[in-house]
């Protein structure tokens, strides 16, 4: 059974640009959530989607957005990139949103 | 929100030694997971353990929900056990709150 797949794995952007990250959950999982990991703030929850609906959102500015498609794949977008957005972005999937979460390998974003 | 504290923050062991990592949380939870973050950043599931005791090879974990703590035991440590171990809890919001991690270094 394939795990959670995230693309791209690495990317470099400049300030002011925008970026889109993609996440394919484990087959059969309907919940996808996103987390940001930085050295200063650690791992922080961004948002969670279930059946194409955002059910929960963390404390991040509106520049961070996401969506989920009918096949449960999810994308997150960060607009007007800032240096502080440099981070590892991790996607997780689960059956219903509670219970055990499984993480992908992450997308490492560097903003110059 | 819920607070998660992990101790110790750093741990250096000789290969073959045993260790105990602790996770304290400030409120009741309905989900607790232990992860090992590999050098490439992926969070590897170790245990899903909101209560009780589980064992998987050289690793075991115990969560005492009524006293709001969990322990991860690593026996006969190997160099491949090196990395950062995270405890994460969920309290009905479908969002994990992570501790700051324990960085483990196992020396040959």
For residue B93, the model assigns a pLDDT of 75
pLDDT digits (tens, 9 = 90+) for A7-61: 999 999 999 999 999 999 999 999 999 999 999 999 999 999 999 999 999 999 9
Task: Report CB contact under 8 Å: B43, A45.
Answer: no
* Residue A78 pLDDT exceeds 70: yes
Of residues A89, A101, A59, A108, the one with CA closest to residue B47: A101
Task: Report CB contact under 8 Å: B98, A42.
Answer: yes
Q: Show Cβ contacts of residue A41 under 8 Å, excluding neighbours closer than 6 positions.
A: none
Is residue B7 within 8 Å of residue B101, measured between CB atoms? no
Which residues of chain A neighbour B41 with C-beta distances below 8 Å? 37, 88, 90, 105-106, 108
pLDDT digits (tens, 9 = 90+) for B25-63: 999 999 999 999 988 888 999 999 999 999 999 999 999
- Classify residue A83 by its DSSP letter: G
For residue A1, the model assigns a pLDDT of 64
- Give the whole-number percent of chain A exceeding pLDDT 70: 97
- Residue tagged 């794949």 (tokens): A73
- Give the whole-number percent of chain A exceeding pLDDT 90: 93
* Residue A2 pLDDT exceeds 90: no
Comparing alpha-carbon positions, the chain A residue that sits nearest to B45 is A102
Q: Which residues in chain B (54-93) have CB-CB distances under 8 A to chain A?
A: 86, 88, 90, 92-93
* Residue B20 pLDDT exceeds 90: yes
CB atoms within 10 A of CB B99: 25
Is residue B66 within 8 Å of residue B7, measured between CB atoms? no
* Residue B67 pLDDT exceeds 70: yes
How many Å apart are CA A51 and CA A68, to the nearest integer? 7
With vertex at residue A90, the alpha carbon angle to CA A85 and CA A94, rounded to the nearest 5 degrees, is 145
Which residues of chain A neighbour B96 with C-beta distances below 8 Å? 33, 35, 43, 45, 92, 101
For residue A98, the model assigns a pLDDT of 67
How many Å apart are CA A95 and CA A31, to the nearest integer? 6
């Amino acid at each position: 059974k394939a795990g959670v797949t995230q693309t791209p794995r690495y990317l470099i952007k400049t300030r002011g640009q925008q970026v889109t990250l993609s996440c394919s959950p484990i087959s059969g999982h309907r919940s996808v959530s996103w987390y940001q990991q930085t050295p200063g703030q650690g791992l922080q929850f961004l948002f969670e989607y279930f059946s194409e609906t955002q059910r929960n959102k963390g404390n991040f500015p509106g520049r961070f957005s996401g969506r989920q498609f009918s096949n449960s794949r999810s994308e997150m977008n960060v607009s007007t990139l800032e240096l502080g957005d440099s981070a590892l972005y991790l996607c997780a999937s689960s059956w219903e949103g509670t219970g055990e979460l499984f993480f992908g390998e992450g997308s490492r974003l560097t903003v110059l | 929100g819920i607070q998660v504290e992990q101790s110790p923050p750093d741990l250096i062991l000789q290969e073959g030694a045993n260790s105990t990592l602790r996770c304290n949380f400030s409120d009741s939870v309905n989900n607790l997971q232990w992860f090992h973050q590999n050098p490439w950043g992926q969070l590897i599931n170790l245990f899903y353990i909101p209560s009780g005791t589980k064992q998987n090879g050289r690793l075991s974990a115990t969560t005492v929900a009524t006293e709001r703590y969990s322990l991860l035991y690593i026996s006969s440590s190997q160099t491949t056990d090196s990395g950062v171990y995270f405890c994460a809890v969920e309290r009905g919001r479908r969002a994990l709150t992570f501790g700051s991690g324990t960085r483990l270094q196992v020396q040959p």
